[in-house]
Structure 1
């Protein structure tokens, strides 16, 4: 009996890519340009002092996204559809009222950031021109391409996040201090520190990801025509854990890079991603600067379709429209028109008198208000056997879910207190 031939590298790469599901895209899109601005600001202000948040937020992110994914797999419905069918209408309208402006503001901040860093790389073309180019390209891709193509392109765009893992490798890094601040949480009661902490939590546990994850699982099983069983649930859990681990590794390295370069150089106030990129150039060299800027563009191209898609799913399920990236424009007009309106409104924000940082602040406030409500609803849904059948929450999931709910509630109260 001959030895089995080992699969070629190309075959193994293809299998690995196919094994990556919605969890990877969801996780990677969490590190969008607005998230990068938040992490860079945290690193510039406090050095490596907030690295511990990458460890603490990981189980919280996993538990919420796993519940959302399970809801999608078991019910074959998006999160908004479940809320509409099982809860009072005012709850649905409150979710819609807060989600719409927060997602539009987030899209606007991301488009502006992509335009700004593209202008840094190619100064001959104004930032607003780049923003229009990116918006048109994203409109075309999301409307014309099918789900499989969009999903494949989004997975490949995840590679752009590796740029941030390289920066600490090509700059001088105090690894002893970094490891110490990773393993031993520090805590201060200063307003700036609390605001940075609230910003990190709001950026990592973002409500739009709850809607996207749920709907993407529905798209995935519809596309693959599979019956949900324990094996499918187990594969989903692995995918979610992997996706969230990826996003946390990246956000860890963004804080580390900013702490290494900007904090140590005495640059403690970074208000925009282009400021961060420009500050890196003289201190860390052209390679770090180009990597940072390229990462912004790649993550923007990845995150904006997720943001706009989340809003389309919310609207479609609210008004019972046909939905899905696996449908053609003629089959789901309301779904795709919502996506187009979201992108155009996001683009127009930068022509108004709202700075990207203001947009991010408003987004953080709105996310902070809606996240506890949604996490509470998700926990309630996942403990309801009428909705979830035999796939209700286990005890550990409930414990971690309740901890996440308490942390998000207390931080949103803290954020409001600091602002008022």
Structure 2
């Protein structure tokens, strides 16, 4: 299955899970707010984010392919001194596990919002919790697919849902008939004090730290030889560009909204109905539901790979440590979603952990991909290092700003 592309046989692989992971309700919400508040002027930010994501994910995938282990396992094995090892493992586990639990709650809540736009079901009060039937459905579906322990099945489900997301959001964008001139202007970089935090959010929701762990582990499991590097790279590029197109479509759709205030994709869908009819609402609703359920499946999987890799436990999805970790993340996400905490607040907490983790993981990756003992002839070339170091500087600045912003809001 696949087709020839410049003598490289292309068939969708783990890259589809990376796309499914970063196009979640958080991305939908951030892109919506960017479009509503700034029109098309931040399209360039998404283009930059996609380029940075491709570069970092390629490095992580290359490590997984050549070393035949996931990023968490590589960090545990390569940092031999007790202080550096425990510090690295501790920070990674803390940020990924707590961040993914918060993301999971936002994923479940966001997916439920999409379903609520089409079907209305009352909340079920129970012991102080407000249980949402759609949230339970998303949690159960995610658990069933992950518990089945079949990567091929998960990949196929993800591919179908990513296609649904693509069709939904890109169709909605076409329905708004954006001006080609305005679209081209949006790719000219503009910076100001007003849009800086939105720029940080757009990059932060695309370059997701836990995707680096997820991708490297899945590549190590899927491909067995370094000779498959071209296929790995093609899968990475195609998948992430598709994810970028989805994000661009959401922002373009939101820019067409004439609502005074839009705080979520649900508000966007309702605001577009008077101008473009109920079809626009259904496109956003279906896309939001698909985004929620795909991310609800990948967040527990990524957290499990990190925990098991850091402690040297088996990383097969059917192993007890993997299943226990995935179950804990799923249950924590469902519990937080039932507390009535607004998705924006959950996403804010996740951004705090992202801000801490992203420059740290980027630094680790840059160190590892330059080690001949790990990658041999596949280690970074000078041009890779220039691009990688530039991205590290950007992630350090953006991570610091996002942490300071969250702390300011809390104080």
Please give the TM-score of this superposition, normalised by the length of structure 2: 0.91
Corresponding position of 2:209: 207
2:160 counterpart of 1:168: no
Sort the Cα spacing of 1:53 and 1:17 in 2 relative to 1 into closer, same or farther, 3 A.
Answer: same
- Residue of structure 2 aligned with 1:132, choices 123, 129, 136: 136
Q: 3-state DSSP class of the match of 2:132?
A: helix
2:160 counterpart of 1:146: no
2:349 counterpart of 1:383: no
Q: 3-state DSSP class of the match of 2:117?
A: helix
2:96 counterpart of 1:99: yes
2:380 counterpart of 1:393: yes
* C-alpha separation in 1, matches of 2:328 and 2:307: 12
Asked if the contact 2:20–2:158 (Cα under 8 Å) also holds between the matched residues in 1, the reply is: no
2:363 counterpart of 1:359: no
- Residue of structure 2 aligned with 1:403, choices 377, 387, 390: 390
Corresponding position of 1:350: 337
More displaced 10-residue stretch of structure 1: 403-412 or 274-283: 274-283
Deviation at 1:14, TM superposition (A): 12
Question: Unaligned stretches of 5+ in structure 1?
Answer: 1-10
Deviation at 1:417, TM superposition (A): 3.8
Asked if the contact 1:99–1:208 (Cα under 8 Å) also holds between the matched residues in 2, the reply is: yes
The residue correspondences of 1:5-84 to structure 2 (distance < 5 A) are 19-84=11-76
Corresponding position of 1:340: 327
* C-alpha separation in 2, matches of 1:158 and 1:417: 34
- Residue of structure 1 aligned with 2:293, choices 297, 301, 320: 301
Deviation at 1:168, TM superposition (A): 2.2
* Deviation string, structure 1 residues 129-148 (Cα, Å, up to 9, x no partner): 11001111211111025121
More displaced 10-residue stretch of structure 1: 277-286 or 339-348: 277-286
Deviation at 1:156, TM superposition (A): 1.6
More displaced 10-residue stretch of structure 1: 56-65 or 345-354: 345-354
Deviation at 1:376, TM superposition (A): 0.3
Asked if the contact 2:104–2:330 (Cα under 8 Å) also holds between the matched residues in 1, the reply is: yes
Q: 3-state DSSP class of the match of 1:312?
A: helix
Deviation at 1:353, TM superposition (A): 5.0
Corresponding position of 1:187: 191
* C-alpha separation in 1, matches of 2:42 and 2:53: 17
- Residue of structure 2 aligned with 1:284, choices 265, 276, 288: 276
Q: 3-state DSSP class of the match of 1:321?
A: coil
Asked if the contact 1:121–1:290 (Cα under 8 Å) also holds between the matched residues in 2, the reply is: yes
Corresponding position of 1:319: 311
2:231 counterpart of 1:235: yes
Corresponding position of 2:249: 253
Q: 3-state DSSP class of the match of 2:42?
A: coil
Asked if the contact 1:107–1:304 (Cα under 8 Å) also holds between the matched residues in 2, the reply is: yes
More displaced 10-residue stretch of structure 1: 111-120 or 32-41: 111-120
More displaced 10-residue stretch of structure 1: 160-169 or 397-406: 160-169
Asked if the contact 2:18–2:211 (Cα under 8 Å) also holds between the matched residues in 1, the reply is: yes
* C-alpha separation in 2, matches of 1:161 and 1:17: 25
Asked if the contact 2:9–2:231 (Cα under 8 Å) also holds between the matched residues in 1, the reply is: no
2:193 counterpart of 1:155: no
Please give the TM-score of this superposition, normalised by the length of structure 1: 0.89
* C-alpha separation in 2, matches of 1:247 and 1:239: 12
Question: Unaligned stretches of 5+ in structure 2?
Answer: 80-84, 124-130
2:182 counterpart of 1:177: yes
* Deviation string, structure 1 residues 314-369 (Cα, Å, up to 9, x no partner): 111122222223xx3xxx11101111111111011122252110011111121011
Asked if the contact 2:138–2:296 (Cα under 8 Å) also holds between the matched residues in 1, the reply is: no
* C-alpha separation in 1, matches of 2:355 and 2:102: 14
Deviation at 1:303, TM superposition (A): 1.8
Asked if the contact 1:119–1:125 (Cα under 8 Å) also holds between the matched residues in 2, the reply is: no
